[in-house]
């Protein structure tokens, strides 16, 4: 593991803000009345790298995440780069959701499943054997309105130099999607760190779609990591990437309802009162209709 990366991880573990737990008592709960009502017949999802390794203004930024959950009331939330106190905070403040974690130490992924809408069946953590950055695949089998869903999230290997490992990790997801039972709908969302040429090299099964592409490649939600617009990181050169992606493989068994994407938008675009954004990534909010 890179020395710089290891130092960043250790710093995050050792310097969690002392006032973090105070927010559990005074921050808004995700059970409050939302300002937007979800369409009862649609599945809604948010995927977001919340940048827990950046501890600056972390309590305020975690409270920002809760405000977006209150606003959109998603059925499924896929989170990357959680750290233990962030996960504990969310468990305390999201009573309407079941939380599943992809780890317990350092940093990891997680899922929030709305209890009134999603029936949890089982989950597993799939190891990436050659990762140098403690990455894995978190998988949950659930039921939504009688339909079997397989939810997956991951935080693929970071940085341009780790393209080979990142493509290995995409192949693991690809095989899971390719060989899943035909009556199961598969949704993957996460911080893939992928470049388009890497996806082309690996290839996706014909039954799998990139949701952003399926919805017409809308320019306003193309770039999810964009330091030219997001000032949380001090990047001295212009760059932007579509690191965060959602992949869908609808059920392909005859007679089983199919989920189709119908809306996508970026969230987290507003600065918080502390002068920073909820994360250095924009989150993706997406809804799916039953066909």
The residues that are catalytic are 191
Residues in the chain: 291
Strands laid side by side in the 184-191 sheet: 118-127, 136-144, 147-154, 184-191, 244-249, 209-210
| Contacts of residue 127, Cβ cutoff 8 Å, sequence gap at least 6 | 136
Strand segments, DSSP code E, in the chain are: 43-49, 76-82, 97-101, 108-114, 118-127, 136-144, 147-154, 184-191, 209-210, 244-249, 259-267, 283-290
Quote the tokens at residue 58: 């972390």
**What is the DSSP pairing of strand 283-290 with strand 43-49?**
antiparallel
Quote the tokens at residue 158: 């970071």
CA–CA gap between residue 87 and residue 80 (Å, rounded): 11
**Cβ(27)–Cβ(57) below 8 Å:** no
Place of tokens 């991880």: 9
Q: What are phi and psi of 2, to 5 degrees?
A: -60, 140
How many C-beta atoms lie closer than 10 Å to residue 16's C-beta?
18
């Amino acid at each position: 593991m890179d020395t710089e990366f290891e130092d960043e991880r250790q710093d995050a573990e050792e310097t969690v803000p002392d006032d973090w737990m105070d927010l559990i008592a005074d921050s808004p709960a995700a059970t409050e009345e939302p300002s937007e009502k979800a369409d009862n017949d649609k599945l809604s999802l948010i995927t977001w790298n919340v940048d827990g390794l950046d501890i600056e203004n972390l309590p305020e930024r975690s409270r920002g995440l809760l405000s977006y959950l209150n606003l959109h009331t998603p059925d499924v939330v896929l989170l990357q780069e959680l750290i233990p106190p962030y996960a504990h905070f969310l468990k305390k403040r999201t009573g309407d959701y079941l939380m599943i974690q992809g780890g317990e130490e350092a940093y990891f992924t997680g899922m929030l499943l709305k209890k009134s809408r999603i029936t949890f069946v089982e989950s597993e953590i799939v190891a990436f054997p050659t990762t140098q950055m403690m990455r894995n695949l978190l998988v949950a089998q659930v039921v939504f309105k009688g339909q079997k869903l397989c939810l997956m999230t991951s935080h693929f290997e970071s940085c341009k130099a780790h393209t080979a490992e990142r493509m290995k990790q995409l192949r693991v997801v690809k095989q899971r999607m390719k060989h899943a039972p035909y009556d199961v709908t598969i949704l993957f969302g996460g911080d893939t760190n992928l470049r388009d040429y890497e996806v082309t090299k690996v290839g996706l099964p014909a039954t799998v779609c990139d949701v952003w592409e399926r919805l017409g490649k809308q320019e306003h939600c193309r770039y999810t990591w964009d330091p030219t617009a997001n000032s949380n990181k001090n990047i001295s050169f212009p760059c932007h990437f579509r690191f965060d992606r959602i992949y869908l493989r609808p059920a392909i068994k005859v007679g089983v309802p199919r989920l189709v994407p119908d809306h996508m938008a970026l969230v987290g675009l507003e600065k918080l009162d502390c002068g920073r954004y909820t994360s250095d990534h924009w989150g993706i909010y997406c809804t799916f209709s039953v066909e």
